[in-house]
Every structure is written in structure tokens, then in C-alpha cells.
Amino acid sequence: MWETLATVRDLGRLQEIAGVLIRYGFGDVVQRIGLAGALERAGRLLHIAQGGEDSVLRLSSPERVRHALQDLGPTFVKLGQILATRVDLLPPDWIEVLGHLQSQVPAVPIDALRAQLEADLGDAPERVFARFEEVPIAAASLAQAHRAWLHDGTAVILKVRRPGIREVVEADLRLLTRLAEIVEAKAPDLRRYRPVEVVRQFDASLRRELDFARECRNAERIAVNFVDDPRVLVPRVYWEWTCERLNVQALVDGVPAADLAAIDAAGLDRHALAITGADIVMQMVFEDGVFHADPHPGNLFFLRDGRVAMIDFGMVGHVSPVLREQVARLLYGLVFQQSEMVSDVLLDWADGADVDESRLQADIEAFVDQYRGVLLKDLRMGTMLGEVTGLLRRHGLMLPPDLALLIKALLTLEGLGRQLDPDFDMTAAAQPWLQRIMWQRHSPRALAQRGQQSLMGALDLLADLPRDLRRLLRSARHGRLRGQIEVTSLEAFGDQVNSAANRLTMGVVVAALVIGSSIVMNSVSVGTGNRWLMALGVVGFVGAGLGGVWILLSIWRSGRRR
């Protein structure tokens, strides 16, 4: 099971992961997924305790997971941050705790960074820029930021990827992928969290985040969408120095969105800023289809002229026109208490999953009915979306990754809006956009376009029908008509049959060795053999003994696995 983890480095990292899990009271998980047994067979001993220290065990489960992820390093911190966006998989208390994950890492000294920086810039930073600060202004798990000034006096930020971080991430991703496969196979109660799918999403997201040039392309794409909007600022990218490991952008001279005292000192209107921020996100989601997936206060700045500046586009979500319309219908149905519209959208998202549609519909109707008669200004979109995702979890439904990012972004935005202005009404801010999209969906032009597309599709189907039937009949006539059926539950049965056949074969071989060796030894004892025959008989008995031990161990291990 663990042949893919044969390298010494991966094995050592695997032991470290197991040790951290045990330290925080997850020793039972280590045993259940077979991690302890795999390490012991590789010669690495683990001391499994019932739990960690008393001070650790007093923490809640989400807190213990958060501490374990922080101890395991940058890759696992990023995994926790991705999990914090999966509102469809984890309950609100887990989302809140994991949302506070921060990697406490020291900055890389400039001497260790200089060779990579000079290779990316093409020269020493002191010669490329008029001034360069060797001490970073911020350090994170994947990168650190240095301030510099161009020769025309423009201040810029250099976001430099940590040397060697890609190799560390690659090794951890290999382990996480294999661990997710084993958890899904060996721990049925953890299977509902879709570990393989979550790690697959995380793998793709982290690889994108390691490419700083891609981050800059995301920034420019959003900047183009707001080129005519004087309320929005996206820092300029300096492409002459930007590459996969280095991001050079203009420095944003603004007030951090989290610093309420500084916002008031700058004379900014907090209510107006909250409305502007909501309007910007609504445009990204419902008009542009590309949105900043992590609009937390650390990534937003307010300029003294009232503009909103966005930074850090490493995590960007994409919403297709179809998904955009579905999100609008879902929110419209929630706001205006139309349960059938909400049910239709959620069943579309189920996409053939094994779900009890009648029970899901009844739960949705009960959920929507509790808001009937509630004034629009008293509705809380974040609360409603949180309850919808809780309903999805209860029915075992999983959102598409970008949709989970979108819901998390809307929840973050509402929290930021209420932080700026306690009277901020996210529902009222979203209402014009929802009504506009619903009108566009049912406008005469949109109906005509959908009718034309349906007609063209039907005509294409009719045109292709004779050819498809001819191919089907030709295949049937020549005996080439095939049907493919996959029954995954038979795979385990096949493995058991294969294992039993191996044991039976080994048993026959052992019996043959015993009988053959007995005949040989008997001929020696009556004086008809020689010492070579005696040696052959002894070898046969030893082989039979080893084979018998193998059979007993195989039976014992299969019993333990059951």
C-alpha cells in the first residue's frame, strides 16, 4: 500500500505527520488509516497514545486541527485555508477556526535570497532599483515582500517566492494525495468529507498560487473589467521583472480595511465604503464572471479619495454564465421566499448524486418558509447562505469548488461590510443585481436566443440521427456492440478471491514440498541416498516451513484488516 512512499525523505515526513497527529490527540486516526502499521513495517516506531497532553485535549477539535496544521508547515496551513472555504463540507465553527490559520514563519535572510532575486531581476536589486529595502515588510509561508523605489520615484512591492519552497510543496502534495486515497478507502465516517476531491482541488489551487506570473495575469484581467470604474484600483504590474518566482507591483498607499480608527481619521465614509465594496464584488460575480476569492480585510485598502484597492490575486474564482444564472436564481429565491426556485438550483447542483429529492425538497420548503413575512431589511444573506450549506452537508451534497469559493467570498464580504457599518444590508446591496439578472433571463431577447439555441440543437440531433442509427446497426450486425458496466463493490471481492487463490496455491506448494522432502529423507534413512539428497530434503523442509509461516501471517493480517 505504501510502495509509492519509498523515498527516505517522504518516509521521514510521513513519520513527522503521524507524530504531530498523535501529539494533538488523533492517534486513533493514525491507526485506523493504517499509517502506524506502514511506518512500523518500514522500521519506524510510533508510540501511539490515547491522546495528547491535557492542555491540548482541553481544546476543541477544530482548534486541535488548526494547531496540528500550523505545526506541519506551509503546505498544511494552505490546506487549512482551502478547507476554510468549503462551507459545503464543514460546519460554521470549523470554518471560523480554520479561517484564522496563519503561518508563523521567519523571513528568509537577504543573503539566502539574493542569488534567486538576481537571477529573476537580471541584476542586483540595488542596481535595478533606485532604492531597495533588504528587510522585508511582510513574510508568509510561500513568499515575502520587500519594498523598493523605481528611478522615477514610484514605490513598488517585490513579492519573492521562498527558495526551495516548490520542492517542499511537491513532496507534501504527494503525501497528501496518497493519504486522502487511504482515508477515503479505510475510514468510512471520514469519506463524507470527500478527502480525494478536496486534495485534488487543493493541489490545483496551490500550484496556481506558486506561480506569481499567473497571479499578475489575474490582477490584470480584473483591472481591465474595472478600467472605466473610478472607484476601483488594482496595482499596476511591472512585467519587465515579473516571473513565476517574482511579482513586482505598484505599492498601494492606503488605509487597511481592518483599521477602523485609521479609516475614521482619514475622514472616510464607512457606510459608503461598505456599499462600494459590495457593488464591486457583485459586478465581479454577476457581470464579469471572475472574482477575487479572498476579499478579507488584509487584501483590501481604502484610499483617501474613497477608492477601493484590491491586492493578492493568488486565489481567483470563475463563474460560468450558467453558474452565474444559477447563483442569481438561488439568491433570488432565498430573498423572495420562492422555495421551488431554490430546490431547482440545488437539484441541478446535485448532478445525479444519490440524494432523496423529496426529502431535500421538503427541507428546502421548511427552510424558506421560516423567512416568509420577514422584512427585506431584516434578512441576513450570510445567515441564509450558511443554513443552505448546512442543508447541503446533511444531504451529502458537494458544491463545485468555484461555487464554494463564491459563497465564502460573499460571507466574508458581509462580515467586512458589517464591520465597517453595523447597519450594512447585504441583501439590499444584492437586490438590484439579482433583479437585473432575472430580467435579463426572461427578456424577449434572451428568450429568443434560448429558443434559437434549442431549435438549432434539435435540428443537429435530427440531422445526426440517421448516421448514428446506421453506425449502431452496423456494430450490432458485426457483433461489435459492447456495453460497459462498472461495479465498484466487486473490486474488494475480487481482491479477496485473488488473495485466497494465492494462499491456496502456496498451500499446495508447501504440501508438495513436505511430501517430496519426506520421501527424499526416507530414502536417505534406509541407506539408499547420499548427503546431497539429505541436503535437498532439508532445503525442502525449510522452504515448506517458510511457506507455512507466510500463509499464517497472511491469514492473521487479513483478520486484523476486517
Residues marked active site are found at 294
Residues contacting 229, CB < 8 A, separation 6+: 280, 283
Alpha helices for 398-488 (secondary structure H): 401-420, 426-442, 444-477
Query: Interhelix angle for 195-210 vs 74-83, to 10°?
Result: 120
The number of beta carbons lying within 10 Å of the beta carbon of residue 105 is 15
Cross-strand bridge partners of residue 255: 302
In the numeric block, the cell 526551495 is attached to: 164
Residues contacting 481, CB < 8 A, separation 6+: 472, 475
In the 8-state DSSP scheme, what is residue 284? I
3-state secondary structure of 290: strand
Closest CA to 426 of 376, 373, 380, 368: 380
DSSP 224-242: HHTTT-TTEE-PPB-TTT-
Joined together, the cell numbers standing for residue 85 give 472555504
Judged by phi (left if over 0) then psi (alpha if -120 to 50, else beta), residue 527 lies in left
Closest CA to 318 of 215, 406, 413, 227: 406
CA-CA-CA-CA dihedral for 396, 401, 406, 411, to nearest 10: 50
The number of beta carbons lying within 10 Å of the beta carbon of residue 233 is 21
